[in-house]
């Protein structure tokens, strides 16, 4: 089945700093890839997604590009804000021969804290 490995946290940045959170995946084929964000005490919200190689997902200043050569989907933002403080999860779905397309597989999450 799929697996997802993402950068261990916590990550602490100052406001307006550049953010990168690394994510790599393993799958026998080409899964769809997602970034979710979780604010304290809440469920997960979809941040962005990419469904095929070289696709770039973007939302709220965040971007991630699906790189099949490096099996990666790194999350970036050029200038973070205090309100971006949250836990970020990378996830994959499908792309396994004979496997289920129903299951989302998550990384362990990366806690981001942005200080003013």
Partner 1 sequence: DGGITQSPKYLFRKEGQNVTLSCEQNLNHDAMYWYRQDPGQGLRLIYYSQIVNDFQKGDIAEGYSVSREKKESFPLTVTSAQKNPTAFYLCASGTGGKMNTEAFFGQGTRLTVV
Q: DSSP characters for 91-114?
A: EEE---TTS-SS-EEE---EEEEE
By beta-carbon proximity to partner 1, the closer residue of 91 and 114 is: 91
- Residue selected from 3, 14, 28, 45 as contacting partner 1 according to rule CB under 8 A: 45
By beta-carbon proximity to partner 1, the closer residue of 27 and 80 is: 27
By beta-carbon proximity to partner 1, the closer residue of 34 and 80 is: 34
Residue 67: strand pairing partners: 72
Write out the binding residues for partner 1, residues 47-86 only, by CB under 8 A. Answer: 49, 51
Strand order of the β-sheet with 19-21 is 19-21, 75-77, 62-65, 56-59
By beta-carbon proximity to partner 1, the closer residue of 1 and 61 is: 1
- Residue selected from 40, 97, 102, 116 as contacting partner 1 according to rule CB under 8 A: 102
d(CA 7, CA 19): 12
Contacts of residue 41, Cβ cutoff 8 Å, sequence gap at least 6: none
Residues at the site binding partner 1, with contacts judged by CB under 8 A: 31-32, 34, 36, 41-46, 49, 51, 89, 93-95, 101-109
């Amino acid at each position: 089945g799929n697996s997802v490995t993402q950068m261990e946290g916590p990550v602490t940045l100052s406001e307006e700093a550049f953010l990168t959170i690394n994510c790599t995946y393993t799958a026998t084929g080409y899964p769809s890839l997602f970034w979710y964000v979780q604010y304290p005490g809440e469920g997960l919200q979809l941040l962005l997604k990419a469904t095929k190689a070289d696709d770039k997902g973007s939302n709220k200043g965040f971007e991630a590009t699906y790189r099949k050569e490096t099996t990666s989907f790194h999350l970036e933002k050029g200038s973070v804000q205090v309100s971006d403080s949250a836990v970020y999860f990378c996830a994959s779905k499908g792309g396994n021969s004979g496997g289920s397309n129903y299951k989302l597989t998550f990384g362990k999450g990366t806690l981001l804290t942005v200080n003013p």
